[in-house]
Amino acid sequence: MRAVAVAGTAVAALACAMTAMTEVDDAAYAARHEAMVREQIEARGVRDPATLAAMRAVPRHLFVPERLRAEAYADYPLPIGHGQTISQPYIVAFMTEAAGVQPGETVLEVGTGSGYQAAVLAKIAARVFSIEIVAPLAAESRRLLAELGYRNVEVRAGDGYAGWPEHAPFDAILVTAAAPRLPEPLLAQLAEGGRLVIPVGDDVQEMLIVTRRGGRLEQHRSIPVRFVPMTGEVRRPPR
Ligand code: SAH
């Protein structure tokens, strides 16, 4: 009886210590998080209130490997394993704003990676579908997003080249890996008025924004970027 009571006390004390630690950590991250939004994102011209609110809401430090948490709010991408990266915060905000994601919309992401961009999108859109070609990354981001309570995100392992026809059409499609050309199936899965945001090119890419309007595809070129390559079907020579 006594041993149980002692053990219970010890566990309770430990639980307290852990709560306190988390609070201290969260306070430290909060300042860096806010500085990230102001100095990297607002300062570079992102103005969309929904994008800024989502960037403020999602705890980026929980989407990076634990040993890199101190750098989570820094102005660069970070490795997430399997040779992949979580994008620079500004790029996540830029793509979210460029895609013009609105409440109530259905969004497709190709390249789930850490799940961070998917979480940002999930704060604005009604439903987010995200495809990741590296199966362990898909499993890990699915687990993390569920644990953090993002109930409107679905992650699937596979090649995003073919999109996700069962849930098409999409109001916005974000591709977060560099493609050598525009993937036809993604263009086909854009809703009327839908936007596709995708880095196209080799070493340095250009962010392209393609909008479907009245059956026509309007294309805008924006900033130069550097993403990890999109792999799979898009690398095969077109037939
Ligand atoms: N959006 C991510 C960034 C991921 S980096 C984040 O917020 O963390 C790009 C990701 O695209 C990598 O994880 C890579 O494995 C994935 N990828 C590359 N080619 C792909 C394809 N054809 N289909 C789906 N995912 C792909």
Question: Stretch 147-173: mean pLDDT, rounded?
Answer: 98
Q: Which residues pair with 219 in a beta bridge?
A: 210
Question: Which residue out of 109, 189, 228, 234 has the highest number of ligand 1 atoms within 8 Å of its CB and is therefore the one to mutate?
Answer: 228
Q: Which residues are catalytic?
A: 87
The per-residue pLDDT for range 8-52, each reduced to its tens digit, is 445 544 444 555 555 666 788 999 999 999 999 999 999 999 999
Domains of the chain, first to last = 76-235 (3.40.50.150)
User: 231: Cβ below 6 Å to ligand 1?
Assistant: yes
Instruction: Name the β-bridge partners of 211.
Output: 195, 218
Give the pLDDT score at 5: 38
Q: Residue 175: pLDDT above 50?
A: yes
For residue 176 and ligand 1, the question of a CB distance below 6 A is answered with yes
Rounded to whole angstroms, how far apart are CA atoms 170 and 164? Answer: 9
- Both structure tokens of 46: 């992102």
Q: What is the CB-side half-sphere exposure of residue 212 using CA atoms within 13 A?
A: 18
Ligand 1 contact, 94 CB (< 6 A): no
The residue length of the chain stands at 239
Do residues 226 and 102 make contact, with C-beta atoms less than 8 angstroms apart? no
Across the chain, which distance is largest between two alpha carbons, in Å?
A: 76
Q: What is the pLDDT of residues 66-110, one digit of tens each?
A: 999 999 999 999 999 999 999 999 999 999 999 999 999 999 999
- What is the CB neighbour count within 10 angstroms for residue 23? 10
Whole-angstrom distance, CA of residue 72 vs CA of residue 61: 5
Reading the block at residue 37, the tokens are 């939004």
Degrees, nearest 5: CA angle 222-228-233: 95
Q: Are 180 and 154 in contact (CB under 8 A)?
A: no
- pLDDT score recorded for residue 116: 98
The sign of the dihedral angle between the CA atoms of 24, 29, 30, 35 is: positive
What's the CA gap between 17 and 48, in Å, rounded? 40
pTM: 0.91
Least confident range of 15-19, 61-65, 133-137, 142-146: 15-19
